[in-house]
Amino acid sequence: MNPKLTLRDKKKEATAYALTEAAFELALEKGMEGFIVDDIVQKAGYSRRTFANYFSCKEEAVAEYFIGSATKEDENMLLAGLPADATPLDALYSLLKLQFTSEFLHKLRQSVSLANQYPSLEPYILSVFRRLQIAAQELLEQFSHGRYADGYTHLLAGAVYGAFVPILDGRLNVMLPGEAQDEHSGALSFDQYLNSMFAYLRNGF
């Protein structure tokens, strides 16, 4: 179990979030070419030096915005609450339900839309999403306690997180939570897609 966040940790998280929120809002409003770091720090109420303590550039700040609010403590509590016979697939399903909230998915889709318009943003979006995948894989390894072959958790996390990319860039017709059916004719709901994906993983293709 990870130690609880100290007051200093919480303050640092709040500062980083304020900066990345300001960067993301500016990106939506003006496009990536319509603002600079000075605009971010002015909007967020911090200095350029503070910005440099957290981010290397405006693209990185924008990309960090969609990271979910679920903490390591939340994730550990979730896994601890699973039944004794739960599999890594069960654990991953529960983790995704915790991470992929309606708010998270909409932020992520907006981020991917921005990256499609501004290619300089794409590597940073992919890097953040890759970090989510690696964190999930590490959590699965802790959960499985060596009960599965080497590489199993890597393959599992890679397959599941990779399956979300075509939703986010619009190649698959899937409705995110809160979207109306008439906006996506013939689309699957997000929960339907998630459940069908895990059915394939459990039962085979």
CATH 1.10.357, applies to 67-203: yes
Alpha carbon 107 to its chain centroid, in Å, reads 9
Can you give the pLDDT at residue 5?
Answer: 67
Q: Which residues pair with 175 in a beta bridge?
A: 189
Residue-level pLDDT at 167:
83
pLDDT of residue 194: 92
pLDDT of residue 21: 95
Q: Which residues of the chain have pLDDT under 70?
A: 1-5, 68-72, 181-184
Q: What is the pLDDT of residue 29?
A: 96
- Please give the CATH number for the structural domain made up of 1-62: 1.10.10.60
Q: How far apart are the first and last CA of the chain?
A: 36
Biggest alpha carbon distance in the chain? Answer: 54
Span(s) in the chain for CATH 1.10.10.60: 1-62
Residue extent(s) of CATH 1.10.357 domains in the chain: 67-203
pLDDT at 2: 43
Q: Please state whether 112 falls in left (phi above 0), alpha (psi between -120 and 50) or beta.
A: alpha
